[in-house]
Structure 1
Amino acid sequence: MPAVAIPGSKSITARALFLAAAADGVTTLVRPLRSDDTEGFAEGLVRLGYRVGRTPDAWQVDGRPQGPAVTEADVYCRDGATTARFLPALVAAGHGTYRFDASPQMRRRPLGPLTRALRDLGVDLRHEEAEGHHPLTVRAVGVEGGEVTLDAGQSSQYLTALLLLGPLTRTGLRITVTDLVSAPYVEITLAMMRAFGVEVAREGDVFLVPPGGYRATTYPIEPDASTASYFFAAAALTPGAEVTVPGLGAGALQGDLGFVDVLRRMGADVNVGAEGTTVRGTGTLRGLTVAMRDISDTMPTLAAIAPFASGPVRIEDVANTRVKECDRLDACAENLRRLGIGVSTGPDWIEIHPGTPAAARIKTHGDHRVVMSFAVTGLRTPGISFDDPGCVRKTFPGFHEAFAELRRDIGC
């Protein structure tokens, strides 16, 4: 039974870096993800004057509840959406002038709902080029707090940024959310804030965040559930294959572990235990219709194995995947058609018909999840290649080596 060592969660590492920087004291993050995104976040903190000590197994961050140690900084956010959305909120609570820019890919991704909410809270924030996109400048004088309304229908990261900011304001925040996608990611945020000493109250669509700041702690980072989905899918696709991911079990924070429930519905054997999760391929892979709004990062994983199901696979309520690193709905459809598979799409859905994929070169659009998903298709389709295989460094620099090892272990 291959036990796969999955790197730490990107989502949890990014939130932990924010919380550690904002906390009173020194925080130790155990087994954080080391990837382009998280290194970019840590580098951004260093540019802002925070001390971040990094060893292979742990990072230590000296918190500064009062905000950045420098009064001027230029921060390059690379491709990282968490860096690009969380750090402007962090600096707003400090005092100084801070400019943020990002890669062309990240410049295309929206953050307008977040910056509108920050402006509503009195933050002096200016977009230098396209409104609602990087680059931007924050002239920070601290945040009083108060009431704000937010549309989080494109990304739950907007809400997470405001929730994380709340304890750093002088009076706290009352956040009313009019729409919310990927709700489990918000639950991750609330659980992590609790671990750093802040309890957020929720009344329906209203979040009440108290002032008072965070306290430092030692925080272990669990394995990344989105990354685990490729290895679980590989097991489900391969009769008799079994994959276990230790450290990602019943108490996991990440909603994307719910992807194994989709595999169970399709016919895989799934066991979610206290210490880890195991998926075993049974030789059965049924078609289904599934809404994936709350686990939309795993939509490409399901799309990539869908051709091997016995009936059509229809994935619904995933409009937000169109504003990720690329338009993932269109990217999945385009690549499945390259493989000779019948596909239909709509504004928020994709339907994939059974078929036998043929060898093709996958157009990745620089999106790590497109590469990792179609690597699973490659288990049953010799000759699949990628125009940019290296973009996996965003979240899992060693993916290709780890997946090759899994392929050997399960006999593909």
Structure 2
Amino acid sequence: MTVIDIPGSKSVTARALFLAAAAEGTTTLLRPLVSDDTEGFAEGLTRLGYRVERAPDAWRIEGRPQGPAAEADVYCRDGATTARFLPALAAAGHGTYRFDASPQMRRRPLGPLTEALRTLGVDLRHEETDGHHPLRIAAHGIKGGELTLDAGQSSQYLTALLMLGPLTDEGLRITVTDLVSAPYVEITLAMMRAFGVEVARAGDTFTVPPGGYRATSYAVEPDASTASYFFAAAAIGPGREITVPGLGGGALQGDLRFVDVLGAMGAGVRLTPDGTTVRGTGRLRGLTVSMRDISDTMPTLAAIAPFAEGPVRIKDVGNTRVKECDRLEACALNLRRLGITVTTGPDWIEIRPGTPRATEIATHGDHRIVMSFAVTGLRAPGMTYDDPGCVRKTFPGFHEAFAAVVSLLDRN
């Protein structure tokens, strides 16, 4: 058995940074993810006037319940959480704030969130394309009230508004008409609770009280999406076994459900309160699976689908078309270049069994495409990537860590 340490969760780190910044007092984050996305988020907070002290295994954030400084210009890099959460944080303040992002992030949608902020009375203007960065906010605090939100493209719109709620004068009542990646909202609710705020939920309506947050010490659990690549590497190798400690049955992250998919395909899966183990059995069955709630792991499954004994059909993943790239088409393109038969529809992909041949992977600058097809490369030696370095977004040391784990698996 190979035991590996996975870096901290990107989703948890980003939420913790927002909540810590808004809280009364100083928060310590233990084992936060250190990557381009989280460094960009921390830099954005610094530009907004928050004090962030970063040590290798712990970050300290001094909260500003009064809100950000009076003026700031924030560059969000490629980070969707930075680009969506920080404008919501700034909107609760009093001042003038401008946000911009990389060309990749500029292409990604923002409209449902910014329309919701406008509904709450926020003076927000998109400088170029409506519903996209760059944008400018003239903030005068937020009274609060009722909202109807379509979160069918991204659950991050709802998360941003939920975390904003305690910073308004009267709180928020949010009714959701559509929601994708629902487990990410459960992460948000649990973390808000840890920072002193209890959100009431009745069906599709969330009621968020005013009153702010209180600082705490918060341990960031390992990233379940990142763990999926290592679990997949075990699943496609007979007798290979990988355990990820700190990511067990009580984990916040819904993406840990990826191991349930591996189990349904025939891999051995064991969850304990302290960790998760996946073992390759030598057989993977084809299946049809909805990945609406765990869509960040769709590329991982697509990358190992050729090794199943029957077709793998992944459905309800239309939202992956508006991620860092159109992930559904990126997976299809690369699988075809590997010699695999693939068909796609608006929100689904079906992959036939086959023997991949090594090729150069077109990454589209997307970290998840690189890391997913690294698993395919275990059975197709000689795989290369047109932009291997884009993994710095969430896991700068991925290639070295993955090679080290594979070497351990081969020895065991």
Cα distance in 1, alignment partners of residues 313 and 405 from structure 2: 28
Alignment-derived partner of residue 321 in structure 1: 320
Unaligned segments of structure 1, at least 5 residues: none
Correspondence list, 1:212-251, <5 A? 212-251=211-250
Deviation at 1:366, TM superposition (A): 0.1
| 1:249-304: CA deviation from partner (whole Å, max 9, x where unpaired) | 00000000000000000000000101000000000111000000000000000000
Q: In 2, Cα distance between the equivalents of 1:410 and 1:327?
A: 32
The equivalent residue for 1:354 is 353
Output aligned runs, 1:385-404, within 5 Å: 385-404=384-403
Q: Which residue of the partner structure matches residue 276 of structure 2? A: 277
Deviation of residue 4 (structure 1)?
Answer: 1.0
Counterpart of 2:200 in structure 1 is 201
Determine helix, strand or coil for the equivalent of 1:138: strand
- Give secondary structure in 1 for the equivalent of 2:238: coil
1:300-379 to structure 2, matched below 5 A, reads 300-379=299-378
Secondary structure, aligned partner of 1:286: coil
Measure how far apart 1:53 and its partner are: 0.5
**What residue number does 2:409 align with?**
410
1:296-343 Cα offsets, whole Å, 9 max, x none, are 000000000000000000000000000000000000000000000000
CA positional deviation for 1:12: 0.2
1:383 shift after superposition: 1.4
Tell me the CA shift for residue 178 of structure 1: 0.5
How many equivalent residue pairs?
411
Q: Give the aligned partner of residue 20 of structure 2.
A: 20
Report the secondary structure of 1:134's partner residue: coil
Residue of structure 2 in register with 1:135 after alignment? 134
Amino acid at match of 1:338: R
Q: Which residue pairs with 2:36 in the alignment?
A: 36
Quote the Cα distance in structure 2 between the aligned partners of 1:212 and 1:232. Answer: 42
Which ranges in structure 2 are unaligned for 5 or more consecutive residues? none
CA apart distance, 1:364:
0.1
| 2:194 aligned partner, one-letter code | A
State the Cα distance separating 1:242 from its structure 2 match: 0.3
Q: 1:59-74 maps to which residues of 2 (within 5 A)?
A: 59-68=59-68, 70-74=69-73
Give the equivalent residue in structure 2 for 1:58: 58
C-alpha distance in 1 between matches for 2:93 and 2:260? 43
Deviation at 1:161, TM superposition (A): 0.2
Query: Per the alignment, in what secondary structure is the counterpart of residue 358 of structure 2?
Result: coil
User: Is residue 2:62 matched to residue 1:82?
Assistant: no
Q: Indicate the SS of the match to 2:21.
A: helix
Q: Could you tell me how far apart the structure 2 residues matched to 1:3 and 1:143 are?
A: 48
- Paired amino acid for 2:278: V
Distance 1:188 1:259 in 2: 16
RMSD: 0.6
Partners of 1:126 and 1:272 in 2: CA distance: 47
Separation of aligned partners in 2, 1:409 and 1:58? 29
Q: Equivalents in 2 of 1:359, 1:20: separation in Å?
A: 45
For residue 170 of structure 1, give the secondary structure of its aligned residue in structure 2. Answer: coil
1:72 is displaced (CA, Å) by 1.0
Equivalent position amino acid for 1:39 in 2: E
Deviation at 1:143, TM superposition (A): 0.4
Q: How much has 1:407 moved relative to structure 2? A: 1.1
Letter in 1 for 2:406: R
Report SS of the residue matched to 1:243.
strand
Report how far residue 382 of structure 1 moved.
0.8
Residues of 1 paired with 2:247 and 2:16: CA distance? 18
d(CA) in 2 for partners of 1:92 and 1:102? 18
Q: TM-score, normalised by structure 1?
A: 0.99
Partner amino acid, structure 2, of 1:54: R
- TM-score normalised by structure 2 residue count: 0.99
Deviations 1:327-372 (A, max 9, x none): 0000000000000000000000000000000110000000000000
Match of residue 8 from structure 2: 8
Separation of aligned partners in 2, 1:35 and 1:138: 27
* CA deviation map 1:357-409 (0-9, x unaligned): 01100000000000000000001111111000000000000100010001101
**Runs of at least 4 residues of structure 1 off by over 3 A?**
none
Partners in 2 of 1:93 and 1:359 — Cα distance?
51
Counterpart in 1 of 2:105?
A: 106
Distance 1:24 1:198 in 2: 12
The residue identity in structure 1 corresponding to 2:156 is Q
Q: Which position in structure 1 is the counterpart of 2:251?
A: 252
